[in-house]
Amino acid sequence: MSDVTTSVDVRVPLRTAYNQWTQFESFPEFMSGVIAVRQVDDRHTHWVTEIAGARREFDAEIVEQLPDERVAWRSTDGDVRHFGQVTFQPLGDGATRVTVDLAWEPEGLLEKAGGALGADRLQIKADLERFRRFIESRGTETGQWRGRVPEPPAAVAGEEPLAGTVPPPTGAQTPAEKDRSDKDVVDVLVAQHEQVKELMARTAAAEGYEKQQLFAELVDLLKTHELGEQRVVHPVIRSSTEAGAATANARLGEEHRADQLIAEVQTMIANSREFDTWFEQLQHAVLDHAAHEESEEFPKLRREMSPARLRTMAEELVAVQTAKN
């Protein structure tokens, strides 16, 4: 499942931003992956999308609509499993933060590769920027629907719901609740670890110009990941978990070592034996760092932070990493 969350701040009031997002048929004007949306009735739509060159059609229903807060929809039939959610946060001075969470099941090599390399996140980020220009240039919405849709029912026992379609739990995080909740900061970081591992393997196997290009992408991904950890994760570990200072300091030391290796490798010719030797050291350093996080840091977060706080941290992490890009 590909799952992308990103935000944009728009200089229009909350009500205006929300009203525009109830106009599904306007989505193609600012979402490059959406070819057409037909509003069947107040709760049902038909979508035609194209992501990574793959054209898909599906029917969707609105599963939750809270005026000026949230609109959520999910596929019910067609070529793809799809979930979308947009939330709205007033910022003051007539501005609004719009956060979009899209999830879908990629099919085919191109779609899966696009997800692994972050192409889908970049596309959605660009779409939100187009939405910002669209609504700010108009200054007003093209229409509105202020109806309220009840929250979706609880998942049937034994059935795995599509990510994000069921409201997150408010109590202690049991395994069953974890399956139903939106992705938290640990989920996001582990997914990024997998992206890093795959890109490192591809870089090691490549040659010539391709190796150089993949290494540049890898460095950018590592820096983005590291920035999110240093701004969001390590401070929480240090201040809010048992023996957190020692854990955070150890991870920072590992990140500093990886930064040193990156600086060394960047001075070398990508197709040289020297590059391969240093790159192997970088691989070991990064993989060890990820393993330590997953065995030490992440369990601390899951044990000592509430599920709500972990989801908030995920939002903060994404915001920091998106701003960096």
Confidence of residue 273 (pLDDT cuts 50, 70, 90): confident
**pLDDT at residue 15 tops 70:** yes
**pLDDT at residue 192 tops 70:** yes
**pLDDT at residue 255 tops 90:** no
Residue 244 or residue 179, greater confidence: 244
**pLDDT at residue 8 tops 60:** yes
CB 47 within 8 A of CB 172: no
Q: What are the residue boundaries of the structural domains of the chain, listed by start?
A: 2-138, 175-324
Query: What average pLDDT does the segment 137-149 reach?
Result: 86
Q: What is the pLDDT of residue 291?
A: 92
Kindly list the distances between the CA atom of residue 42 and the CA atoms of 24, 36, 66, in Å, as whole numbers in the listed order.
10, 17, 14
Kindly list the distances between the CA atom of residue 168 and the CA atoms of 24, 52, 69, 171, in Å, as whole numbers in the listed order.
25, 30, 16, 9
Measured CA angle at 128 (ends 124, 130), to 5 deg:
115
**pLDDT at residue 219 tops 60:** yes
Query: What average pLDDT does the segment 232-236 reach?
Result: 87
**pLDDT at residue 32 tops 60:** yes
**pLDDT at residue 141 tops 60:** yes
CB 241 within 8 A of CB 233: no
Query: What average pLDDT does the segment 112-137 reach?
Result: 68
| CATH dotted code for 2-138 | 3.30.530.20
> CA-CA distance, 228 to 286, in Å (whole number)?
16
Q: What is the pLDDT of residue 136?
A: 92
Two structure tokens written together for 49: 């999308």
Q: Dump pLDDT digits (tens) for 151-174.
A: 444 444 444 333 333 344 334 344
CB 289 within 8 A of CB 255: yes
Q: What is the pLDDT of residue 158?
A: 42
Q: What is the pLDDT of residue 247?
A: 87
Averaged pLDDT score across all residues of the chain: 78
Q: What is the pLDDT of residue 155?
A: 43
Query: What average pLDDT does the segment 231-249 reach?
Result: 85
**pLDDT at residue 122 tops 60:** yes
The CATH number for 175-324, chosen from 2.60.120, 1.20.1070, 1.20.120, 3.90.350, is 1.20.120
Q: Dump pLDDT digits (tens) for 81-94.
A: 667 788 999 998 88
Where do we find the tokens 């040289």? 272
CB 127 within 8 A of CB 32: yes
Q: How many CB atoms lie within 10 A of CB 260?
A: 12
Whole-model pTM? 0.46
CB 304 within 8 A of CB 239: no
What sections of 38-171 are H helices per DSSP? 108-116, 119-138
Query: What average pLDDT does the segment 307-322 reach?
Result: 85
**pLDDT at residue 16 tops 90:** yes
**pLDDT at residue 322 tops 80:** no
> CA-CA distance, 325 to 128, in Å (whole number)?
14
Helices (H) and strands (E) in the chain, counts: 11, 7
